[in-house]
Amino acid sequence: MYIVTGAAGFVGSNLIRALNERGVRDILAVDNLTQGDKFRNLRDCEIADYMDRAEFRDFVGRGAPGVKPAAVLHQGACADTTEQDGRYMLENNFTYSKELLHWALDRRVPLVYASSASVYGSSRHCAETPDHEGPLNVYAYSKLLFDNYVRRLIPQISTTVVGLRYFNVYGPREAHKGRMASMVWQLYRQLKTTGVARLFEGTDGFDAGEQRRDFVYVGDAVAVNLYFATAPPKQGVFNVGTGMSRSFNDIARILIGLLGRGEVQYIPFPDSLRGKYQSFTESDITRLRAAGYDRAATSLEEGIRQLTEQSGKEGDMISP
């Protein structure tokens, strides 16, 4: 059995589909379906059981009797980077993760969990060391807090405990995320529905639309998860990106080329985001390669092509 938390979410549902494609169907899916529309991400997934997050936390608190999974893929979190309720954020992203970590350690079960490149803040060198880390919001702080908790325990750990610092993941099954969906998906939806891609004017020294991010296709994020879940025991925090930044203008150009229509409109940068926005990210994947993961990253052009092709098969892809 595999346990996937955040199972109805973006990365979680893609993980379950990938496990299904490997012939794995003995999967316990865990999520909170208060946002009921997320069920769409599980419609074509085969699972053995489903638990609400609160029920699962209680189950783990009681030792989860009779359960010893092949691995826990912990994707569940509050991922809203604009959330201001720090208590809520830490309860979801820190306390819940600690509970699952200690249960996995007690059972000697591999744990692979979702961290975030947001921990790097305004750093221009995104490497997994404290001197490059500087969260700009409480979401990023909650992720760094758990990474550091894991780091302190690593000398005592012999099983797999791996944190994956996702850069800007995009791809199928993120329609439910709304304003927190990737820039790739946002621009795709804008161009499909209005013919106009809206990008920010210049900020932080970057020209209009030239803010740059490391955009990683969701299939690559899934592949890294499954690599660590099945590899010999490893511990640590690893970047998950392509190692190359691309501009928002690049995304718009690729999409307009694929769709055969569209234009770009530049809009003022919101005052509410000043000092809290990452205008540049680019992963240093040296540690990931050193850990034995050698699969080439999907190019932005290829990833966007796959996204647009998949959208034709999913009726809810353009839904807000």
Is residue 63 included in any domain, yes or no? yes
In whole angstroms, give the CA distance from residue 213 to residue 283: 9
Of 66-70, 93-97, 178-182, 233-237, the poorest mean pLDDT is in 178-182
> What CATH number is attached to the domain comprising 100?
3.40.50.720
Q: Tell whether 177 is covered by a domain.
A: no
How many whole angstroms separate alpha carbon 98 and alpha carbon 146? 8
Q: Which one is catalytic: 2, 177, 217, 277?
A: 177
For residue 176, is it within any domain? no
Q: Considering the domain boundaries, does residue 196 fall inside one?
A: no
Domain membership flag for residue 124: yes
Q: How many domains does the chain have?
A: 1
Annotated catalytic residue 177: yes
pLDDT digits (tens, 9 = 90+) for 54-80: 999 999 999 988 889 999 999 998 777
Compute the distance between CA of residue 50 and CA of residue 30 in angstroms, rounded to an integer. 6
Q: State residue 312's pLDDT score.
A: 61
DSSP 50-99: EEEHHHHHHHHHTT-TT---SEEEE--S---TT---HHHHHIIIIIHHHH
Tell me, yes or no, whether 307 lies in a domain.
Answer: no
pTM flag (> 0.85) = yes
Among the listed residues 115, 5, 73, 77, the one whose alpha carbon sits nearest the alpha carbon of residue 230: 73
Catalytic residue among 2, 96, 120, 139: 139
Residues spanned by the domain of 7: 2-171+216-243+283-298
312 within some domain: no
